[in-house]
Structure 1
């Protein structure tokens, strides 16, 4: 490595995708050939969100100081909104965010895909998901 050259700060072994619904053949091949962990909706159905998130967080935090979460409302199924069709339920999304908070490893989070033309309830739910990820609880 040359002095001053940028060095990778993220290992593929610590990257986790949760709630994958579809991948074209080329994307599936790239994922299978990479060291990225991808959990599909079928995996969530089989393992349950709680156990799957424990495994995802274990992978993301192995040898790290914590982890970053990237969330898009398109992964959550909201009634009447086609973009999230077949995705996580609102409850599963909260459950994932609650597991993130309980892990104590969350360092940062971003939310993408919120646009002015979305129904206000989707934005409200997204804010509630973020609050859950940062530790907001019912009691």
Structure 2
């Protein structure tokens, strides 16, 4: 096997969205990643980098929802429309890296990537590296936090009045890895709609390589476009504290790097979200630096270039 070290154009898109949950601070995420050296890291790996700066939401008025718990609806809809355009454009220019911002940004980034995939007549696949399923709708959420809704929106579930329809991602094309905080209604939605759901117990028992390899084989067989959404809370908070939704028992740094290295080896990644980085909660920038390191592993950094099929 020859490792793919082909130079890419990496398009950095800042999404300082901070309305998808109550706890503030994620709006500083894009600039924290810049400060941690994401552009120079990618350049050192041989890639060209275009930084398109930080985007802003469209102005939306008159957004309403029957669920009184939902908050930040108009602003979130505005972000979804702005980032959808940005994502579709970035896909035409290279490999976009969407720097968040809370996970509600994926309501826009996935829609834009889905638009691109539809133009290419190729199916879109989602790899959701997260402690949570994010499969609530506006009707089912009890917290009203819209960062818990992007997968449901991508799968075309009902309950997204005010959001523009997007090309549907089928449940079988979605894979969760790292789950450990799923409420009963989300659990039922996973059972009903059929995404692959790998929780931390499964990783403890079988490791991360086997389920990820199986999903990547599925993407390759379908000639699919792969969008990876990497939430800081995929990792254990002992190594990545800068997130407002900490759940103990997450992936280790080594497990995360293995996943990123496998994604690199596959050559399938066409878009990346980095979400829920809250620098206000960080310790001397170590979470931001870790997220940059994980990004580097996706884009080719490794100790040795080696044929991993021999081991």
Question: Considering the TM-score relative to the shorter chain, is it more than 0.5?
Answer: yes
1:131 to 296, 299, 310: 296
Structure 1 residues 25 and 62, CA gap change in structure 2 (3 angstroms): farther
Whether the 8 Å CA contact 1:20–1:40 is kept in 2: the answer is yes
How far residue 59 of structure 1 moved from its aligned partner, in angstroms, is 3.4
How far residue 83 of structure 1 moved from its aligned partner, in angstroms, is 1.3
**Structure 2 spans left out of the alignment, 5+ residues:** 1-164, 305-311
How far residue 13 of structure 1 moved from its aligned partner, in angstroms, is 1.3
Equivalence for 1:86: 249
TM-score, normalization by structure 1: 0.86
Distance in 1 (CA, whole Å) between partners of 2:186 and 2:224 is: 29
1:77 to 221, 233, 236: 236
Whether the 8 Å CA contact 1:15–1:60 is kept in 2: the answer is no
Mapping for residues 1-139 of structure 1, pairs under 5 Å:
8=167, 10-79=169-238, 81=241, 83-117=246-280, 118-119=282-283, 120-139=285-304
**Structure 1 spans left out of the alignment, 5+ residues:** 1-5
Distance in 2 (CA, whole Å) between partners of 1:84 and 1:102 is: 29
Whether the 8 Å CA contact 1:78–1:84 is kept in 2: the answer is yes
* Structure in which a larger fraction of residues adopt helix: 1
Structure 1 residues 61 and 16, CA gap change in structure 2 (3 angstroms): farther
Distance in 1 (CA, whole Å) between partners of 2:168 and 2:189 is: 21
What is the total number of aligned residue pairs between the two structures? 134
Structure 1 residues 76 and 84, CA gap change in structure 2 (3 angstroms): farther
Moved more, 78-87 or 52-61: 78-87
CA RMSD of the aligned region, Å?
A: 2.0
* Max Rg structure: 2
Distance in 2 (CA, whole Å) between partners of 1:109 and 1:95 is: 16
Whether the 8 Å CA contact 2:233–2:246 is kept in 1: the answer is yes
Q: Secondary structure at the match of 1:10?
A: coil
